[in-house]
Structure 1
Amino acid sequence: MPISANIQSIYTDGACTGNPGPGGWAAVVYFTDGSLHEIGGSAAQTTNNRMEMQAAIAALQLIAESSHLSAVTIHTDSEYLINGVTKWVKGWKKKGWKTAQGKPVLNQDLWETLDRLNHPSIEWRHVRGHAGIIGNERCDAIARAFASGKPPHLQQQSASNSKATDAPNFLAPVSEVADFSSNDLIIDKSNTNSHLASNTSMIDSSTPSSISNEELPREVRVAQLRNLLETLRSADEIATKGYLITSSELADLMDVHASAVTSRGEEWRWRNWIVSRVRREGNQILWELERADAINPDDNSDHATE
């Protein structure tokens, strides 16, 4: 896959039916020019942990193939993956791939691949699963689809058809997101590593690339709603208690890139809240949230909307 822009961040996830059983993995790659790529695959008999690792391997391979030099953040909801790749693997190698109890390390083949591909410029960041985070939710949907034997349409969104600060609208309950036109492309991911799953395929770009909410299983839609409510409750608590949050924290809450926060100006509206820039502390900008319905109706100040 030709890559012309720098990678900004990557979300990864894995899923398994039965654990062990049929599994799927996915990665959504966001670029600095606003474009994005989705990759994914499946395995007939595997575990959830192996699928989490497969997704991370695919992400690291893509970074290596792109000759990307600047820092990249990989987001995952797997603490097993993060702890393994950042902490445990060093001790395992010293002990000849044995645990502290002297037992063979599970999934050694994938840990060796991860360790070989990992790089100091990679930041591994844990995110809560099923918390309404767009990249994580989309990866979860792709991975589960592959695990269920129903490979989804994988998307490639070009910068010309995207908002540089937003993510694709599939399982995205948190923020306003980019619309997709009929010209959006579908991508494939070649199986270039024996550890990667085999069911990734080429799909013609004329294939419809969106999934309506109504087509999702009811339990998925209910889970989306619960995730949204959790995000909204967090925002409400921040507003009620008068907490100040940084640009990056606000971006995480809204699930947008930090530049989307700082580029909106001093004061604007997000969902039920007025977001105001309060002050700068060092290199950090602090923001305050206030319930829009708590604003005095006689206050004629202008509030920019989304």
Structure 2
Amino acid sequence: MSSSRKIQSIYTDGACTGNPGPGGWAVVVYYTDNCVHEFGGGEKQTTNNRMEMQAAIAALNFLVNAQQKELVTLYTDSEYLINGATKWVKSWKKRGWKTAQNKPVLNQDLWEALDSVNSKQIAWQHVRGHAGNVGNERCDAIARAFANGKTLSLQQEEPSSSSHDIATNHLSLDGVADVNGDNTIIDKNIQTTLIASDATIMDSPAPTSANSEELPRELRVAGLRSLIDTLRIAEEIAAKGFLITSSELADLMDVHASAVTSRGDEWRWRNWIVSRVRREGNQILWELERGDEVNSAREPYNSDPATE
């Protein structure tokens, strides 16, 4: 990396289908000269929190290898990650990796790895997820692609190239990828073909909030594909009469669990009527029915909690 090129900011994100289930993580690095470097990986059985942490670990390792001294802002939509990295980890270490309730800390292996590369050089910054932030939306698209085993082209600068060259990775996303010191992706059960290109890197706008219409077409299409996957899952759950918990429903809708439980016993979400069936232990079980199949004589339903 030339002395004039500096890392300006880093975005990270994790995604998981099922939680636990197939997961993916992503890192997008923005440079001061508008160049962009993207990478990520996935696991066949993991959790969303672990993918968020894995993304941050890979990002901080990348920053260490860049040997940059200037402060860098790391953006994430995971409050769990930020609180753990900046607050909780100090107490956990003092207690021998035990919580205040004297229980083992979950994901200790990743917390230890993260703590070993965290430093005052990092300014941790929370960003609201799915709110039109370009960097966050791009990270989300990459992480979801890895989680769903889909192919996605990644922008990757070549260390030996000028700032106007780009390398694109076409990944058969099925496994775990890691980052080496030379900015290449290490193959771990993932087939990777690195194709050097003479194309000019598009100037990337500063990752700020934007309307969905202003996002690049690739992000909009990736978002639509993710939405279709979500709707297909919901349709299968409704068709087969499966009951799902509040946390599972929140994952499906991509909202906080409180947005599910605060809406009452029955309400509409997209094409479905969501109804509370019963409580089992600490869990509330919900049923999905197609809205167009429900008797129209029912009382009006509350609106989609994800939009309020």
Q: Which residue is equivalent to 1:65? A: 65
Look up the SS of the partner of 2:12 in the other structure.
strand
Look up the SS of the partner of 1:89 in the other structure.
helix
CA 1:39–1:65 in 2, change beyond 3 Å: closer, same or farther?
Answer: same
Q: For 2:83 and 2:116, locate their aligned partners in 1 and report how far apart those are by CA, in whole Å.
A: 16
Identity %: 58
Q: Which residue is equivalent to 2:110? A: 110
Q: Which residue is equivalent to 1:268? A: none
Q: For 1:207 and 1:147, locate their aligned partners in 2 and report how far apart those are by CA, in whole Å.
A: 30
Q: For 2:10 and 2:219, locate their aligned partners in 1 and report how far apart those are by CA, in whole Å.
A: 24
State the shift of 1:200 in Å. 7.5
Name the structure with the higher strand share: 2
Q: For 2:81 and 2:113, locate their aligned partners in 1 and report how far apart those are by CA, in whole Å.
A: 13
- Among residues 212, 216, 224, which one is paired with 1:218 in the alignment? 224
Q: Which residue is equivalent to 1:231? A: none
State the shift of 1:101 in Å. 0.5
State the shift of 1:3 in Å. 6.4
| TM superposition score normalised by structure 2 | 0.57
Look up the SS of the partner of 2:192 in the other structure.
coil
State the shift of 1:121 in Å. 1.3
Q: Which residue is equivalent to 1:167? A: none
CA 1:132–1:84 in 2, change beyond 3 Å: closer, same or farther?
Answer: same
Q: Which residue is equivalent to 1:186? A: 168
Residues 139-185 of structure 1, C-alpha deviations (whole Å, 9 max, x = no match): 00000000001141111268855xxxxxxxxxxxxxxxxxxxxx642
Q: For 2:64 and 2:101, locate their aligned partners in 1 and report how far apart those are by CA, in whole Å.
A: 34
State the shift of 1:109 in Å. 0.5
Task: Structure 1: state its 5+ residue gaps.
Answer: 162-182, 223-306
Matches within 5 A, 1:227-242: none
CA contact (8 A) 1:40 1:200 kept: no
Q: Which residue is equivalent to 1:43? A: 43
Q: For 2:50 and 2:219, locate their aligned partners in 1 and report how far apart those are by CA, in whole Å.
A: 29
Task: Structure 2: state its 5+ residue gaps.
Answer: 171-176, 202-215, 229-308
Q: For 1:206 and 1:16, locate their aligned partners in 2 and report how far apart those are by CA, in whole Å.
A: 32
Q: Which residue is equivalent to 1:169? A: none
Tell me how many residue pairs correspond in the alignment: 198
Q: For 1:79 and 1:36, locate their aligned partners in 2 and report how far apart those are by CA, in whole Å.
A: 25
CA contact (8 A) 2:166 2:198 kept: no
Q: For 1:88 and 1:197, locate their aligned partners in 2 and report how far apart those are by CA, in whole Å.
A: 33
The residue type paired with residue 105 of structure 1 is V
Residues 6-50 of structure 1, C-alpha deviations (whole Å, 9 max, x = no match): 111000000001111110000100011221100111111110000
CA 1:114–1:137 in 2, change beyond 3 Å: closer, same or farther?
Answer: same
| TM superposition score normalised by structure 1 | 0.58
CA contact (8 A) 1:43 1:197 kept: no
Q: Which residue is equivalent to 2:19? A: 19
Matches within 5 A, 1:134-145: 134-145=134-145
CA 1:3–1:75 in 2, change beyond 3 Å: closer, same or farther?
Answer: farther
State the shift of 1:80 in Å. 0.2
Residues 92-137 of structure 1, C-alpha deviations (whole Å, 9 max, x = no match): 0000000000110000000001111001110000000000000000
Q: For 2:187 and 2:14, locate their aligned partners in 1 and report how far apart those are by CA, in whole Å.
A: 11
Q: Which residue is equivalent to 1:276? A: none
The residue type paired with residue 9 of structure 2 is S
Query: Cα RMSD (Å) of the superposition?
Result: 3.1
Q: For 2:34 and 2:220, locate their aligned partners in 1 and report how far apart those are by CA, in whole Å.
A: 28
The residue type paired with residue 224 of structure 2 is R
The residue type paired with residue 100 of structure 1 is A
CA 1:213–1:56 in 2, change beyond 3 Å: closer, same or farther?
Answer: closer
State the shift of 1:191 in Å. 4.6
The residue type paired with residue 133 of structure 1 is N
Q: For 1:197 and 1:124, locate their aligned partners in 2 and report how far apart those are by CA, in whole Å.
A: 29
